[in-house]
């Protein structure tokens, strides 16, 4: 079987990360293409990855078996309509990385009757530690699902959802999630400085503690609740700190944050999907 040629429309950070992950996994440089109207973006991708690039999206669409749409949500409609005629001739698997844009809208802009996978990676994909949710429309075959998954697995873990609406939940949890953890690190570091630690020590202790906790959760095989209980001695300092967080309704605050992110994802889908 001839390997697929994967074309990335958009040569920004996410496209470069995905292409770089595929190269690291043994994908041939000849089977990866990028397009971008910005000459600086093309030049950067060429220098960083050694890939062939195109100024015209239609030229790339004509050459690719798998088309990855890695452009800003507000630009996707124009890009899709620009390449629609070419895509209808080629009938590639289409993978959309554009946040918030629904599959039905993408398919309509591209002319219809296409296999489309919508994915929601997060920024940790830039360092190969991403977490991505995927949703496929009914025209995607099992082989195409495997292809889409292999692209995103090159930069981290992947999970499939059966209902596209759940991509909004994925967006609120893993898509936006790194910012939640960065915020926790930020406020914990500030508290450390406020109570006497120098900034360098506060930063080191905060980041290493976050890293260690994540590693324990990933490798320990226990639920986070159980891990928390295991490190919380009755009557000790950790118990007092956790009680304070719970009294501040930390669970409600995070639930409200997730709901707000989900609501905004739907609003953006309605806005950009017109």
The residue written with tokens 């099992």 in the block is 142
- Answer yes or no: is pLDDT of 2 > 90: no
Q: How far apart are CA 208 and CA 198, in angstroms?
A: 16
Q: Kindly report, residue by residue over 16-37, the tens digit of the pLDDT.
A: 999 999 999 999 999 999 999 9
User: Which domain covers residue 91, as residue numbers?
Assistant: 6-170
- Beta-carbon contacts of 230 under 8 Å, excluding residues fewer than 6 positions away, are 222
Chain-centre distance for alpha carbon 222: 26
Q: Does one domain contain both 70 and 194?
A: no
- Kindly state whether residue 200 falls inside one of the protein's structural domains: yes
Two structure tokens written together for 270: 């309605």
Number of structural domains the chain divides into = 2
Q: Has residue 1 got a pLDDT over 60?
A: no
The enclosing H or E element of 187 equals: helix 177-194
CA distance 207 to 96: 33
Per-residue pLDDT for 198 more than 60? yes
- How far apart CA 87 and CA 85 sit, in angstroms, is 5
Please tell me whether residue 116 adopts helix, strand or coil conformation: strand
SS3 content of the chain, % helix, strand, coil (to 5): 60, 15, 25
We report the CATH number of the domain holding residue 235 as 1.10.3730.10
120-164: pLDDT as tens digits: 999 999 999 999 999 999 999 999 999 999 999 999 999 999 999
């Amino acid at each position: 079987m001839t390997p697929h040629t994967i074309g990335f429309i958009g040569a920004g950070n996410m496209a470069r990360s995905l292409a770089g992950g595929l190269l690291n996994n043994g994908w041939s440089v000849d089977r990866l293409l990028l397009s971008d109207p910005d000459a600086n973006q093309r030049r950067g991708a060429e220098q960083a990855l050694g890939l062939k690039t195109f100024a015209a999206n239609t030229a790339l669409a004509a050459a690719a078996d798998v088309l990855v749409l890695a452009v800003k949500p507000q630009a996707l409609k124009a890009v899709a309509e620009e390449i629609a005629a070419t895509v209808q001739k080629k009938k590639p698997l289409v993978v959309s990385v554009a946040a918030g844009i629904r599959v039905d809208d993408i398919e309509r802009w591209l002319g219809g009757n296409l296999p489309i996978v919508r994915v929601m990676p997060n920024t940790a994909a830039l360092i190969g530690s991403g977490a991505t949710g995927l949703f496929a429309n009914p025209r995607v075959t099992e082989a195409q699902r495997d292809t889409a998954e292999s692209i995103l697995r090159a930069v981290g873990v992947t999970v499939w959802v059966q209902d596209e609406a759940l991509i909004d939940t994925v967006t609120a949890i893993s898509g936006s999630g790194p910012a939640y953890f960065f915020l926790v690190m930020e406020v914990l570091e500030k508290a450390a400085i406020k109570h006497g630690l120098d900034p360098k020590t506060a930063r080191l202790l905060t980041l290493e503690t976050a890293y260690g906790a994540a590693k324990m959760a990933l490798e320990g095989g226990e639920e986070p609740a159980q891990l928390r209980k295991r490190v919380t001695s009755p009557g000790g300092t950790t118990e007092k700190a956790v009680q304070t967080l719970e009294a501040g309704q930390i669970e409600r605050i995070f639930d409200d944050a997730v709901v707000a992110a989900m609501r905004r994802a739907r609003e953006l889908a309605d806005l950009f999907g017109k």
